Structure 1
């Protein structure tokens, strides 16, 4: 099953995204991952958190979680990247998991992406999903064809979340202000229908890094 990798990367103290040397390194990492395991056509995109410039989001394309964990992670190509970036990233704080949606559906061509995390009780998963996709119509109507929102369930659970599921929603916009304007203009009315199923909700916005 095709999945989307979501990695949350914190920069090491003193590292600046505007530094040409660092940008060359993450461009190299993007190129390596996009041709990983001899399979061309993968898409990997970096975003910088709009509120915290020390945080990057990496969205990427894998044919399965097994391909990523058991084939790419131990590969020489990945070991090269770990060595390349070991002084630029706060390695212990890296969070990486997969969302059960093909990366091709995620609007990574957008200048800005919002990532919304919905924590849902296991018993409410089906009800949440049914209601959510009904509410999603308002999101689709407001989005350009190439920026339609996409979401899926987190595959690997976080520590302490054995009793809950996490739904991750990706929305593409031209700017953070556009996304915030939509959220205040339309989404809360529909969102209220699924609120009873959501234990916790968080949202972050990222600006796409262009090389």
Structure 2
């Protein structure tokens, strides 16, 4: 099953230089051509020195064992070492092969020469996307799944027309589990407002299975 990569990068300077932005655009194109999936950059709202990479891979081995060790990637990383740090990177079991072009409702053509931005299960078409990391003890994973499956439709009804998509972290650290949830919103305040609704009472039942949570918001960076 194809998987979703999520990585967090931190800027070492207040803003990207034009040369660093150019290299990142090269990296975006190179990774897309290598993986066959679109690659997106998203800037964090809470702290603009952080931005995320969202991409897809046929497998973790294809990413870690081939792309990361490749001469192309290593050269690009060396060029960026004075501008950004990689804080973390892992993979989530959201199958990017099922992402669709929302304008046609058809699976994306992932051949390197016909890459298209995906707006389907991960709501990349939303003005703001929340990235929620839910930390769950292994023994409570099934409890979380039940609560999420029951509460998810209440969340979806509130975020429409934007979608939501979540999946479990695959390459986890330690015994605990991590569930990553992407939600689309018109603005950050809409997400905060959801916590005051009756619908949240149903979705909020996931709290009983949580060990902790980290919730951030991002906007896609569309560099020209």
Q: Does 1:170 align with 2:169?
A: no
C-alpha RMSD over aligned residues: 1.8
Question: What 5-or-longer segments of structure 2 have no aligned partner?
Answer: 100-120
1:72 pairs, out of 62, 67, 72, with 67
2:153 pairs, out of 115, 129, 137, with 137
Separation in 1, partners of 2:215, 2:127:
17
Within 5 A, what are the aligned runs for 1:115-154? Answer: 115-145=131-161, 147-154=162-169
Deviation at 1:184, TM superposition (A): 3.3
Q: Does 1:102 align with 2:118?
A: no
TM-score by length of 2: 0.82
Contact map agreement 1:16 1:22 (CA 8 A) in 2: no
1:199 pairs, out of 207, 211, 223, with 211
After the TM superposition, which segments of 4 or more aligned residues of structure 1 sit over 6 Å from their partners? none
Question: What 5-or-longer segments of structure 1 have no aligned partner?
Answer: none
Contact map agreement 2:131 2:182 (CA 8 A) in 1: yes
CA separation of 1:30 and 1:184: change in aligned 2, threshold 3 A: farther
Larger RCO (alpha carbons 8 Å, 6+ apart): 1
Contact map agreement 2:151 2:204 (CA 8 A) in 1: no
CA separation of 1:29 and 1:109: change in aligned 2, threshold 3 A: farther
Paired residues in the alignment total 200
Greater CA deviation, 100-109 or 61-70?
100-109
Deviation at 1:54, TM superposition (A): 0.8
| Corresponding residue for residue 190 of structure 1 | 202
Contact map agreement 1:11 1:54 (CA 8 A) in 2: yes
